A and B are shown apart, each in its own frame.
Chain A
Amino acid sequence: DSGVTQTPKHLITATGQRVTLRCSPRSGDLSVYWYQQSLDQGLQFLIQYYNGEERAKGNILERFSAQQFPDLHSELNLSSLELGDSALYFCASSPRTAYEQYFGPGTRLTVT
């Protein structure tokens, strides 16, 4: 167990809908990272927050947004969902930098 929690574990929704994925980092970790894992794209970095502020952005679509709250938990919001958004979404946390990231169990999103 990495100490990173993610909810929900599974999510099934329809195209055009909006969902929110939640992540609680390990105790004491200030950085939170979001990744998308799909069969054809592998693990893709989406976005990073450090102590409440956006630190780095990857291949995140404009329909997606994230935030990190004062208690350091983070939420990833996905809107106007398309079939291609079906994937595993992982959250990871680290104390400061990307060097040691601890991944949560993931949220499996299925868009029908």
Chain B
Amino acid sequence: QQQVKQSPQSLIVQKGGISIINCAYENTAFDYFPWYQQFPGKGPALLIAIRPDVSEKKEGRFTISFNKSAKQFSLHIMDSQPGDSATYFCAASKNDKLIFGTGTRLQVFP
């Protein structure tokens, strides 16, 4: 079974701090790695994504770091804000299938 392992399960960060969520995958055939953000009562929303030929992608306060040799990728949220409090899912894609990690519940306290 193709798997994407995500950690930590939950994360508490103070406002202004850096939130880091890690994911690891097994299948080297994956060719697209998105991160989704989900607020309570809402569907997941695409946040940022990266392809394996790039080692880093930054969009505003959100950065994906990708390590192809280690088969790992991570999401960094700089200057974390209370409004970033949500559940974050990493995912990996190949052949029209998205395989999701188990999610990280992020809480940012003022």
Contacts and interface: CB of A to CB of B under 8 A. Distances in A.
A98 B96 contact: yes
Interface stretch (A14-22, A64-72, A73-81, A103-111): A103-111
B63 interface: no
Interface of B is mostly: strand
Contacts of B49: 99-100
Nearest to B46: A100
Interface in A15-67: 31, 33, 42-45, 48, 50, 55-56, 58
B46 A31 contact: no
Contact of B43 (A31, A97, A105): A105
Interface residues of A, number: 25
Interface of B: 32, 34, 36, 41-46, 49, 89, 93, 95-103
Interface of A: 2, 4, 31, 33, 42-45, 48, 50, 55-56, 58, 90, 92, 97-106
20 contacts: A2-B43, A31-B96, A42-B101, A42-B102, A42-B103, A43-B100, A45-B97, A50-B96, A55-B96, A56-B96, A90-B43, A98-B95, A98-B97, A98-B98, A99-B49, A100-B49, A101-B98, A103-B36, A103-B43, A103-B44
